[in-house]
Amino acid sequence: MKAIVTGGCGFVGSNLVDKLINLDYDVIVIDDLSSGKKENCNDNASYVFDDFKISLLKSNGVFQDVDVIFHLAAEARIQPSFEDPLHTCHNNSYGSAVVAEFARINDCKVVYAGSSSFYGGVYLNPYAFAKWQGEEVFKMYSEVYGIESGIGRFFNVYGPRNPLIGQYTPVVAIFEEQSRLQKDLTIVGDGNQRRDFTHVYDICDGLIAISKGSWKGEVFNLGTGVNHSINELADLFGGNKKYLPSRLGEARMTLADISKTTKLTGWIPKHTLEKHVADFLLSVK
């Protein structure tokens, strides 16, 4: 099997590349390194360091005979989407159309990294809207042109290579860094907001499971079906808590219904937040 992974130097993308290589895929990564890192590269994959929209439109020889595109490249943060909604829509909506057109021309299937932000409301912030519009692009291409596409909606991903990106760092990574440095755990808002935290290895397994089927824009939730409040997460780490003002555009709760995903693909998440935190705390003792 030959696969393209857009955003394959990023957090989820690089973990996915590693899993695909272990499954003997021929993998080509496209990443402009705007958020991905070269140190996440796998020696057994091929890399194109460029904007995926430009690279795929060129359709040069390196992209021939592709079986599946895992489309993970995106502007992946809520708060910056308020500051530059045009950039967010260009990357996440128009970018999806570029991938869909490549799939149409080259007769390959697509697995798209959707977002659980859909359930908080697609008009809550530019990020949620643009990611949902990406889903709609693939549904349209499946209906009109017959391309095979599946959508995996991610729920609050954590795990190895979780990025430290200032105030927009995912909360598990924030708490890991603060715990490692023996600092207070900073909590945005009252801490009672609840999240379905999903390990990146489970997300990658879910994407691969979706890729095995023949779908026409089908949506699959990739979560655990269990959620924790931010206060509960902080309690797992231990230490003092420090509360910060709430932020605009963030949902109060995420919780995945994964029954359809399990029924149609056989995927079941294997990792728990409790074990991950316990293992982390042991590693820093």
Closest CA to 14 of 3, 29, 24, 2: 29
Query: How many whole angstroms separate alpha carbon 160 and alpha carbon 109?
Result: 28
Structure tokens at 275: 């074990």
156: left (phi over 0), alpha (psi -120 to 50) or beta: left
Taking each helix axis from N to C terminus, what angle separates 11-22 and 200-211, rounded to the nearest 10 degrees? 60
Which helix H or strand E contains 68, and what residues bound it?
strand 68-71
In terms of Cβ atoms closer than 10 Å to its own Cβ (0-12, 13-18, 19+), residue 82 is middle
Which helix H or strand E contains 186, and what residues bound it?
strand 185-188
In terms of Cβ atoms closer than 10 Å to its own Cβ (0-12, 13-18, 19+), residue 171 is buried
Between the alpha carbon of residue 34 and those of residues 52, 89, 99, 117, 169, the distances in Å are: 11, 16, 18, 22, 15
Query: How many whole angstroms separate alpha carbon 95 and alpha carbon 114?
Result: 13
Q: For the chain, how far is it from start to end, CA to CA, in angstroms?
A: 42
Strand 198-199, strand 157-158: pairing:
parallel
| Nearby residues of 141 by Cβ (< 8 Å), 6 or more positions away | 100, 101, 103, 104, 147, 149, 217
Could you confirm whether 127 is annotated as catalytic? yes
**Catalytic residue selected from 119, 127, 141, 158:** 127
Active site (catalytic) residues = 127
